[in-house]
């Protein structure tokens, strides 16, 4: 399970390019910085008020310097702090190049459900809706199927939506998909998976771009 999450994070790290401003969600996305090439030049934004977030401090954690998950972080040279209105102004204003968020379900059209499972715990949406609307590119990362084996890449989301038509790419431990106007494209089969397995465990129809 841990390996699967790390496999997804490692693949997602390859989507991050030099010069990008990136916002990472909690869960699998928070593992991504471990897999970036050390020379990659990016600014991580944290919606609680940092542009230029750095790694976890080795010691001397500062209770006033945390990431959006509430854990201590550091900052990199050139970083800035700001209030929540500015943080989300940046997000809705289209200044975040890439957001990578965990997902519960994604539809073939790129609808995202990632905040509420009815009848289960009630977390609330946090900043996910605005990241979904505002980030210039949104990648959803998740395990390919649910704990009961049910597909999570679906024709229509059954869970309450975070935002419509916002996801451009899906990365799971089995495959990488792109959502285009003509449908859901299978771009890449991950090591250890097969086309047949992916087709059988994906509810949405696929346009297969791999041989």
Partner 1 sequence: MDSFNKVVEVGEVASKFFHGMTLMFGGFGGVGTPPTLIDCLIESEVSDVHLIGNDAGFPWIGIGKFVVLGRAASLIASHIGSNPVAGQLMQEGKLVVEFSPQGILVERMRAGGSGIPGFASEVGIGTKLSYEKPVLDIDGKEYLFESALTADVGIVHARKADRYGNLVFNKTAQNTNPYVAMASQTTIVEAEQIVEVGSLEPDEIHLPGIYINFIIPSEGINWKWVWET
- Answer for which of 10, 13, 76, 89 binds partner 1 (CB under 8 A) is 89
Q: How far is the CB of 64 from partner 1 (least distance, A)?
A: 4
- Answer for which of 7, 24, 140, 161 binds partner 1 (CB under 8 A) is 161
- Answer for which of 138, 142, 163, 204 binds partner 1 (CB under 8 A) is 163
Task: Give the active site residue among 15, 17, 39, 47.
Answer: 47
Rounded to the nearest 10°, the torsion over CA 190, 193, 194, 200 is: -110
Q: Which residue in 108, 174, 176, 164 sits closest to 139, CA to CA?
A: 176
Angle (nearest 5°) at CA 8 between 100 and 13: 55
Q: How far is the CB of 72 from partner 1 (least distance, A)?
A: 6
Burial level of 181, CB count in 10 A (0-12/13-18/19+)? Answer: exposed
List phi, psi (to 5°) of 28.
-55, -45
Intra-chain end-to-end CA distance of the chain, in Å: 28
Respond yes or no: is residue 15 known to be catalytic: no
Q: Using the minimum distance from each CB to partner 1, give the nearer residue, 58 or 85.
A: 85
Q: How far is the CB of 23 from partner 1 (least distance, A)?
A: 12
Q: Where in 7-66 is the site for partner 1 (CB under 8 A)?
A: 46-50, 61-66
Greatest alpha-carbon pair distance for the chain in Å reads 51
Kindly list the residues in this chain that would bind partner 1 in the complex (CB under 8 A). Answer: 46-50, 61-66, 68, 70-72, 81-85, 87-89, 91-92, 116, 121-130, 133, 160-164
What amino acid positions are annotated as catalytic residues?
A: 47
């Amino acid at each position: 399970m841990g390996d699967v999450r790390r496999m997804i994070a490692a693949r997602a790290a390859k989507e991050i390019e030099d010069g990008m401003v990136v916002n990472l969600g909690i869960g699998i996305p928070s593992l991504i910085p471990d897999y970036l090439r050390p020379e990659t030049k990016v600014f991580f934004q944290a919606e609680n008020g940092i542009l230029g977030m750095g790694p976890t401090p080795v010691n001397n954690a500062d209770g006033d310097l945390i990431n959006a998950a509430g854990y201590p972080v550091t900052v990199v040279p050139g970083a800035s702090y700001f209030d929540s209105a500015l943080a989300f102004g940046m997000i809705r204003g289209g200044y975040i190049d890439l957001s990578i968020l965990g997902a519960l379900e994604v539809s073939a059209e790129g609808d995202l459900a990632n905040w509420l499972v009815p009848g289960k715990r009630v977390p609330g949406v946090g900043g996910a809706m605005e990241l979904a609307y505002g980030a210039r590119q949104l990648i959803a990362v998740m395990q390919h199927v649910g704990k009961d084996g049910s597909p999570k890449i679906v024709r229509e989301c059954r869970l309450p939506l975070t935002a419509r038509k916002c996801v451009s790419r899906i990365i799971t431990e089995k495959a990488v998909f792109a959502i285009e106007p003509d449908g859901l494209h299978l771009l890449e089969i991950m090591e250890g998976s097969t086309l047949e397995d992916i087709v059988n465990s994906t509810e949405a129809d696929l346009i297969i771009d791999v041989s």
